[in-house]
Amino acid sequence: MPSKKFQLIPIVLFGLITVTFSELQTLSGIKHIGIGKDYQTIDSALTKHPNSWKNSVITGNVTFFLDDATYPNETYPLVCTIPGGYSGGDWTLLIKPNPGVTPTIEGSDTVIFDLRGINRLTIDGAASGSNKDLTISNTHPAGRAIRLINGASYNTIKNCILKGVATGASVVEIGTSTAATGNSYNTFDNCDVKQGATPTYYGFWLSGTSGRNNENNTISRCNIYDFSLTGIYLSSNTGNTTITECDIYTATQKTSTTMYGIWVGSAPLGPVNITRNKIRDFWTSGANPIFRGLNLNASATNLTTVANNFIWLNATNNHSGTHSGIHVSTANGLINIYHNSIYIGGTVAGTYPSYGVYRASADIMNFKNNIIFNNRTSTGTGLQYCFYAVSTGGTLNSNYNDLYVPTPGENGQRVGYWNAAPRATLADWRAASGKDTNSISLNPDFQSITSPVDLHILATSNTVDGKAIIGTGI
């Protein structure tokens, strides 16, 4: 029988003791969830059982092992919240499959796992190593697989397959807070975030509460795919966000007319670091789609860093429409764009352009050591650019780049656009802008620009060797 911690909490009304709460059980160590185990259901282990996480005083780290392949008798959402109390330390909760078990937790509700103010929870989907053995799936048309709200912080979700079908919502939400703080210092690592039977709008959606911002959250090493609109959307009241080593793409054809890899939707309230990601292979039957690998609204006070990313559009599936590798929207934003490789392929008719980088406003941009290869050709009047500057204002420090189109001035291909006019060659671009004095315009010799695409440089090539500059801090 579990030990008990007695808490006598009298409530006094008009001099009379009316209620006394006592005998919170203690909880620590390893417990099992499944038929005939310590808890029959996950819901029971988290909140319903008298000795659940919620109803106990935690006296040591707790592990809940998932012993069953399915959990058909759950009541959703599965609420992860603060326990009855802690004794002797800031203890943790770990939920993971028992070795040899590959559980699927599937339901239809607004949320499957709802992290409400909990701290130091880890959901580790690996029964062993870093395998993705746990699937969490929501079949509700407006539901999330996982949501973090009300100050949920210092939590880790890793090695999981997360699925959703929400129209107008996401598979994962780091959301609002009614607590004193936002939802911060959370990590999603090595997860597959994808559609269920039908596409979801977003893979991740991050949107906090004013004055209780979501800070220092990390999305790393995740495969985010088969969304219909955006892989990762940073909406509002977020800051110090890191997105790194993710693969963002569509594996099956969608019907969307707009698709974005990562969207920073409003000026972030802290630095944003987007590094070492692959954004690729958007695929849709939608007419004349707008594709943007990155859509950035940078902050005037907090630096956005985009570094060491691979972005390719129209390399595997040809589309009409307007396409941008990196689209920067905000005036006065602070942004560093370093060491990225961008490839745009395909053929287009009509008036549709493409841009390796699109600079919409007078921001403060450092653009160095990037490779842009715009191989898209036009049979109409649409022009295909490496760098398109709508605004010549602000501060643009652009140098040591490779800005390459195979037929400058022909087939709709232009190196740049500056001061309201196309600039066909690198020499034209330099003369008009005064930028890119040390840049080149040569085929970078990517390993492959057809499926499977690989934007690493051929080992036998020296086209870009020694052309970069050190000192970017990347």
User: What pLDDT, in 10s, does the model give residues 54-97?
Assistant: 999 999 999 999 999 999 999 999 999 999 999 999 999 999 99
Instruction: Using DSSP bridges, classify how beta strands 9-13 and 16-21 pair: parallel, antiparallel or unpaired.
Output: antiparallel
One-letter identity of residue 310: F
As a whole number of angstroms, the distance between CA 331 and CA 333 comes to: 6
Element (H, E) at 261: strand 258-264
pLDDT tens readout for residues 406-420? 999 999 999 999 999
Q: What is the mean pLDDT of residues 268-293?
A: 94
pLDDT tens readout for residues 328-368? 988 788 999 999 999 999 999 999 999 999 999 889 999 99
Q: Which two tokens stand for residue 440?
A: 């080149």
Q: Is 208 helix (H, G, I), strand (E, B) or coil?
A: coil
Nearest to 262 by CA among 285, 284, 238: 238
Residue 15 pLDDT > 50:
no
The answer to whether 331 and 299 are in contact (CB under 8 A) is no
pLDDT band at residue 193 under the 50/70/90 scheme: very high
Q: How many residues does the chain have?
A: 474
Q: Using alpha carbons, list the distances in angstroms from residue 121 to 70, 130, 442, 445.
A: 21, 18, 50, 46
Give the helix ranges, DSSP H, for 5-103. Answer: 42-43
As a whole number of angstroms, the distance between CA 221 and CA 286 comes to: 29
Looking at 9-77, which runs of residues are DSSP E strands?
9-13, 16-21, 24-33, 56-66
Q: What does DSSP assign to residue 429?
A: H
The answer to whether 132 and 125 are in contact (CB under 8 A) is yes
As a whole number of angstroms, the distance between CA 449 and CA 452 comes to: 8
pLDDT band at residue 12 under the 50/70/90 scheme: very low
Residue 201 pLDDT > 60:
yes
Q: Is 44 helix (H, G, I), strand (E, B) or coil?
A: helix
pLDDT band at residue 104 under the 50/70/90 scheme: very high
Tokens 């000192």 sit on residue: 471
Write down the pTM of the prediction: 0.93
Element (H, E) at 445: none
Task: State in Å, rounded, how far the first CA of the chain is from the last one.
Answer: 56
Q: How many C-beta atoms surround the C-beta of residue 141 within 10 A? A: 14
Residue 7 pLDDT > 60:
no
Mean pLDDT of the chain: 92
One-letter identity of residue 229: L
Residue 268 pLDDT > 60:
yes
The answer to whether 89 and 95 are in contact (CB under 8 A) is no
Note the pLDDT of residue 470.
63
Q: Which two tokens stand for residue 114?
A: 């709802």
User: What value, to the nearest 5°, has the Cα angle with vertex 295 and ends 167 and 421?
Assistant: 135
| 249 DSSP β-pair partners | 225, 280
Instruction: Using DSSP bridges, classify how beta strands 218-220 and 227-236 pair: parallel, antiparallel or unpaired.
Output: unpaired
Element (H, E) at 356: strand 354-359
Note the pLDDT of residue 469.
64
The answer to whether 24 and 57 are in contact (CB under 8 A) is yes
Residue 112 pLDDT > 90:
yes
As a whole number of angstroms, the distance between CA 223 and CA 254 comes to: 17
Q: What is the mean pLDDT of residues 302-323?
A: 94
- When computed from its CA atoms, the radius of gyration of the chain, rounded to whole angstroms, is 26
As a whole number of angstroms, the distance between CA 191 and CA 150 comes to: 23
Instruction: Using DSSP bridges, classify how beta strands 4-5 and 24-33 pair: parallel, antiparallel or unpaired.
Output: antiparallel
Q: What is the mean pLDDT of residues 357-380?
A: 95
Q: Using alpha carbons, list the distances in angstroms from residue 142 to 115, 202, 259, 348.
A: 17, 11, 20, 36
Residue 392 pLDDT > 60:
yes
The answer to whether 376 and 369 are in contact (CB under 8 A) is no
Residue 107 pLDDT > 90:
yes
